[in-house]
Amino acid sequence: MVRIYLSPVDKVNKPPLRYLQVQDALVLGSGIPWTIACANIAWELIYGVIHPNSLGQVISFVPWLIADVPIVYATERNIWSFVGYLGL
């Protein structure tokens, strides 16, 4: 089996293979929510700010876009401490 990444903690603890397989699946699967979140933000930006067809689109998309900005900011600010923890 080819491992994506074996962290220093995993090298010391030597977990079972099944644990490492689940860990890899979770790492690989973490890109899916990011893709969905980026598509959602793009949709809200395009149809709420750049090219709204009606006032209803502005009223419904802009508040969600404003709510997404702090979430993305907090995630991006804190993700690097998590990546450093993993040893990447």
> How high is the pLDDT of residue 7?
78
Task: Tell me what the pLDDT averaged over the chain comes to.
Answer: 84
> How high is the pLDDT of residue 82?
61
Please check whether residue 48 lies inside any domain of the structure: yes
What confidence tens digit (pLDDT) does each residue in 25-55 have? 887 787 888 889 889 999 999 999 999 999 9
Pick 59 or 34 by higher pLDDT.
Answer: 59
Residue-range definition of the domain harbouring residue 24: 8-86
Number of domains in the chain: 1
> How high is the pLDDT of residue 67?
94
Angle at 15 between CA 14 and CA 16, to 5 degrees: 120
Q: Three-state SS for 3?
A: coil
Please check whether residue 25 lies inside any domain of the structure: yes
Please check whether residue 1 lies inside any domain of the structure: no
The DSSP 8-state label assigned to residue 4 in this structure reads S
Please check whether residue 51 lies inside any domain of the structure: yes
Please check whether residue 36 lies inside any domain of the structure: yes
Cα 2 to Cα 12, 13, 21, 31, 80: the distances in Å are 18, 18, 10, 19, 25
